[in-house]
Amino acid sequence: MMPAGVRESARGGAPRAKMTPVRLAGGLLCAFGMVAAMSGGAAAHAAGFIARTLHQPVPGGVAVLSLGASERKPSARYDAAPVMVVKDSNDEWVAIVGIDLKAARGRHELRVEGPEGSRRLVFEVGHKEYASQHIKLKNQAHVTPDPEQLKRYEREYAEQMEAYARFRPGGPSNVLLDPPVKGRTSSPFGLRRFFNGEERNPHSGLDFAVPRGTPVQAPADGVVTIVGDYFFNGRTVFVDHGQGFITMYCHLDAVSVDVGREVKRGEVLGRVGATGRATGPHLHWNVSLNGNRVDPAIFLKGR
């Protein structure tokens, strides 16, 4: 249950995500047995830009599911949580579903409420293998916290889960995101991590190896929902971009926004640092959809 936030060990070298070719098969099929064939991960009939760009239905990925071109915006739920619905470039509504890193491979279900009533959309979650990484930490408390620290962590964890679960109607300003810092990425999302030999939660975000003081910019418009100073994540900012699309910035040296502030795309949120469980300055960045952390790199396509 450890959260995010560690830089790759210097001795481990650059970790490489081992990617198994993903079978984007599946087909979309609704409760009435109607099957829309899929090819290349998007609906065969002229999928829109968002579907073509973001659809990666694997654990830690995103499923973009067409909901039709009704006049009124449909709503959708996945695992009981409300899901982001936006209009794609082909004028169809699409649900953009965040898939948990621990999701089982196979059939998953979206519940859709639209003008024609309620229906189920079944979609297929494929397989993806993520690489492993071994990290040495000098601070043993950051490997195995003592009971007092654990209590603090649990409180902080609950606060963050609550922020991830929020669903604000409206937004986002953009679904493809700007990188929050300029610089190279280091630890990818999904890495299985062993701290001093003990396996902990996989890497829930994407790291950028950039110097202390590098400005961190909002990748889309949003509202600041958390400014925290956490045991593992250090100084942390959460931004709610709307419809359950939420980003988190960790290990900051300094924060320049307050809770409740409406930020614009490009606005500076703070500066890169090494606070919390970090072996050196870097930005740890999480992207969350419908309460599930997903691979931020998906949203940086073409950047």
Residues that bind Zn ion (CB under 5 A): 5, 207, 284
Pick between residue 88 and residue 207 the one whose CB is nearest to Zn ion: 207
d(CA 71, CA 37): 24
106: Cβ contacts below 8 Å, ≥ 6 apart: 124, 125
d(CA 173, CA 219): 10
Q: How far is the CB of 41 from Zn ion (least distance, A)?
A: 27
Pick between residue 124 and residue 207 the one whose CB is nearest to Zn ion: 207
Q: How far is the CB of 14 from Zn ion (least distance, A)?
A: 14
Note whether 269 and 108 are within 8 A (CB).
Answer: no
Q: How far is the CB of 123 from Zn ion (least distance, A)?
A: 29
181: Cβ contacts below 8 Å, ≥ 6 apart: 208, 210, 214, 215, 216, 217, 272, 283
Pick between residue 123 and residue 232 the one whose CB is nearest to Zn ion: 232
Adjacent-strand bridge partners of 206:
285
d(CA 102, CA 124): 15
Give residue number: closest CB to Zn ion. 284
Pick between residue 284 and residue 293 the one whose CB is nearest to Zn ion: 284
DSSP symbols for 57-89: -STTSEEEEEEE--SSPPEEEETTEE-EEEE-T
Q: How far is the CB of 229 from Zn ion (least distance, A)?
A: 17
Q: How far is the CB of 7 from Zn ion (least distance, A)?
A: 7
Pick between residue 5 and residue 180 the one whose CB is nearest to Zn ion: 5
